[in-house]
Amino acid sequence: MDQATNKDPIELLIHAGSGADTWLLIGGPIIVVSIFAVVYAVIVWIRNKRETAELRLEEERLNRELPTSQAGAEADAEDNEDEDSADKWSELVVDESPQVTIATDTVTTDVEEIRTTDRASWLERLSRGLAKSRASWQQSLSLILTGKSRLDEQVLEDLHAALYRADVGVAAADSLVDHVRRTIGKDNATDPAAVANALKERAAQILSSAANTPLNKPEQGPWVVLIVGVNGVGKTTTIGKLTAHFLANEQKVLLAAADTFRAAAVEQLVVWGDRLGVDVIKHKQGADPAAVAYDGVKAAIARRADVLLIDTAGRLHAKQELMEELGKINRIIGRDLPGAPHETWLVIDATTGQNALMQVKAFSQVVKLTGLIVTKLDGTAKGGVLLSIAEQFKLPIRYVGVGEKAADLRAFDAGDYAGSLF
């Protein structure tokens, strides 16, 4: 029998440096690791080559289809001081489909409305938006507390059940009820206002634990934000609203229509682009989404945009494809602009309740999310779902939408939200 196999590995190490045993113990693993490293490097190299070739083909196709374009995105990026070059490229990528007529004063309407929405009027909008949730909750609370003299375990159990029905989730409901139990004095045990205040206090803590992650903004160059979410959640409208917000803050914005799967998605984004006077980088329907994102980044650099918002397809039903698509977009835009995308925000529709939670879970598995945007809070009595999401996923909620207008979207504030919810 081979002696080497019978020896204690420690002993082998001690006597390392002499004979075939040493080679077996040290040389073997090194060779195996080296082979793996080489194979991995070759795979990455082949994949990069293939993606670059695909992008080149896509660009060639685009150039053939739009003969006005002599300068491509590459040339534009190299000569970003040159206005002519940028103009030529505008011809290449900016929408040329029949335009939707929009009143020219709409830009000022959207942006001005945001500028004139101060904190007090935003709180009014938020309160109006959450009116259904608040009314439903206040009704439940009054039913639970009416005729009760003490906040006993039965009352607390009813409170827990009502919170659960409001889509708050078990963990958040536990935490809220615990806080009520600890903070409410015996004297005002059945005062709905006191209970609501205790709930607001704890809800703000739960929501802010997730909200405090700072935004990842580059020191220089465009801030690239990838917007993901399934169809119908309000993704395109949210991109339009975000654009109006950035414009109101004097930021130069560019949009990239990388949801090439649905023609309507591109058209809808172009409508927002026209409405706000912002260019939309787009290719034909069915084009490679990564190529659109790539052109978007090139254009954002060349045109010195402050923000690039990239719309993507939300084909969650084809999870593997979606994962590959988003993975490719991430790799390709990161190649020209290291660190991009800086943020990846998932848009969810509050009216879908538990389904929204499932979407957060599913998207977290296909892409690294850095934040959430919750829309249509005005259309549901289940605004409590944010607590469930915050408790479960610890993802920052970046913005909330409480209506269809641009000014109905605002950066999320945990205290304000909790204050309007209960």
Q: Which residues bind ligand GDP (CB under 6 A)?
A: 229, 231-237, 268, 375-376, 378-379, 401-404, 408
Phi, then psi, of 279 in degrees rounded to 5: -70, 145
Alpha carbon of residue 36 to chain centroid: 35
- Alpha-helical runs (H) found in 102-252: 106-116, 119-129, 131-145, 153-165, 170-183, 192-211, 235-248
Q: Which residues contact 14 (CB under 8 A, 6 or more apart)?
A: none
Q: What is residue 173's DSSP assignment?
A: H
Which residues 6+ apart lie within 8 Å of 67 measured at CB? none
Enter the DSSP assignment of 375.
E
CB of 373 vs ligand GDP, minimal distance in Å? 9
Cβ distance 276 to 299 under 8 Å?
no
274/99 Cα distance (integer angstroms):
8
Shortest spacing between CB 272 and ligand GDP, in angstroms: 9
Q: Would you say 400 and 377 are in contact if contact means Cβ atoms under 8 Å apart? A: yes
For residue 316, give every residue at least 6 positions away whose Cβ sits within 8 Å of its Cβ, in sequence order, or none: 230, 322, 359, 362, 363
- Shortest distance (Å) from residue 121 CB to ligand GDP: 17
d(CA 408, CA 150): 40
Of 159 and 255, CB closest to ligand GDP: 255
**Residue 196 CB, nearest distance to ligand GDP (Å)?**
25
Closest CB to ligand GDP among residues 284, 405? 405
Closer residue to ligand GDP, CB minimum distance, 234 or 419: 234
Residue number, 133 or 237, with CB nearest to ligand GDP = 237
Nearer to ligand GDP, 172 or 407 (CB): 407
Compute the least distance from the CB of residue 232 to ligand GDP, in Å.
5
**Residue 175 or 268 having the CB closest to ligand GDP:** 268
Residue 288 vs residues 62, 215, 248, 293: alpha-carbon distances, Å? 11, 29, 32, 9
CB of 409 to ligand GDP, least distance (A): 7
CA angle in degrees (0–180, nearest 5) for 381-347-135: 10
Residue 368 per-residue DSSP state: -
Closest CB to ligand GDP among residues 130, 155: 130
Query: What minimum distance in Å lies between the beta carbon of 338 and ligand GDP?
Result: 29
